[in-house]
Structure 1
Amino acid sequence: MVDWVKLELDVEGFDDAGFERYLRRAQSSGTRFTTMADLGDAPEHRRVLYELNRTCSADIPDRGPFYTYDEYAAQRLDVATYNPGGVIIAVQGDEWIGMSATSLHPDRGHAFSDMTGVLAPHRGKGLSLALKLLAIRFVRSSGYRRLVAFHHPQNHAAIAMNRRLGFVDQAR
């Protein structure tokens, strides 16, 4: 059994200014950011999101087989916690190169970081930080104070990125 690393960010106390440069750098290099809401939460966009999520998830330690499209839609898209405004997409030209999906959980009083990932050829440029910054802004604008993320303990890059943003270990 995996002892997941459970992290939490105080969204109200988060200082955007320290991470704005990652967003500006990505935009100056031709990356634009949009959301599923802005693109249109249509079946063809959901399919592209699925493929991007599946590809990015392949690097998660012990991930195992990814969902089928129907399983993904049933567990991630066709649920009350899904909000297309909380799915941020990084795009270069016509290619979707990164994503950050955040779900809202009013019953738990927090938002949840479902997945942040960037395709391998585009990593190391701060895109994950830019995507996560936009996700945090979505959470804040949705009226939530806490953003929670769970990571496999061997997913060192994701854990380090979240801690850099100010996530701390969640009280057990």
Structure 2
Amino acid sequence: MADHWVKVELDVAAFDAPRFQPYVERCRAAGIRFATLAELGDTPEHRRALYELNKECSADIPERGEFYSYEEYAERRFASAGYAPHGVVIALDGDAWIGMAAASVHPEFVFNEMTGVRAAYRGRGIAVAMKTLGLAFARERGATTVRTFHHPANASVIAMNRKMGFVDASF
């Protein structure tokens, strides 16, 4: 893994949600719908579908290496104290899960665990739309800060976060 991760954070109160709402509306107009894992049902089948989607989307992360087994993933994601099914936004095309933005809750911040879109659906604003909806979750939880980090070669995701108002941080 990289020695130097790009760490960024967002002041939730300063996030300009109306500026990014058109991404959500354009996706919906194109037939993409969004739901949280809580809305879909936090079931074993949906947890497995989330794992498969996360595994596929994570394959493009530079130096990612082998993805967790389902058992490791379940322990890290679902058994974590910060796990919140309301904080997992899924993008769907019909019944197909095409994107995810997963956040976890911590005492001082919300952490964006993963935002990913299947390759065939990239470039349509789906990631920005999911992240916008995920930031509404952070606001509802009373979080003041959202944090995340990226491999320095993952330039498109870093640029997306900076476009949305994330700034460099040293957490």
TM-score, L = length of structure 1: 0.97
Residue 133 of structure 2 is matched in structure 1 by 134
Report the AA paired with residue 168 of structure 1: V
Report the AA paired with residue 18 of structure 1: R
Is 1:169 aligned with 2:168? yes
Is 1:150 aligned with 2:159? no
Report the AA paired with residue 157 of structure 2: A
Measured against aligned partners, the alpha-carbon deviations of 1:68-95 in whole angstroms (never above 9, x if no partner) come to 0000000111111000000000001110
Structure 2, unaligned runs of 5 or more: none
Report the AA paired with residue 161 of structure 2: N
Matched residues, number: 170
Aligned-residue offset at 1:32: 0.4
Residue 114 of structure 2 is matched in structure 1 by 115
d(CA) in 1 for partners of 2:79, 2:55? 17
Instruction: Give 4+ residue runs of structure 1 displaced > 6 Å after superposition.
Output: none
* 3-state SS of 2:13 partner: coil
Measured against aligned partners, the alpha-carbon deviations of 1:24-48 in whole angstroms (never above 9, x if no partner) come to 0000000000011011101000000
* 3-state SS of 1:63 partner: coil
d(CA) in 2 for partners of 1:10, 1:120? 30
Q: Identity percentage over the alignment?
A: 54
Residue 12 of structure 1 is matched in structure 2 by 13
* 3-state SS of 2:83 partner: coil
d(CA) in 2 for partners of 1:161, 1:77? 27
Computed over aligned residues only, the root mean square deviation of the Cα atoms, in angstroms, reads 0.8
Structure 1, unaligned runs of 5 or more: none
Aligned-residue offset at 1:171: 3.8
Residue 27 of structure 2 is matched in structure 1 by 26
TM-score, L = length of structure 2: 0.98
Report the AA paired with residue 158 of structure 2: I
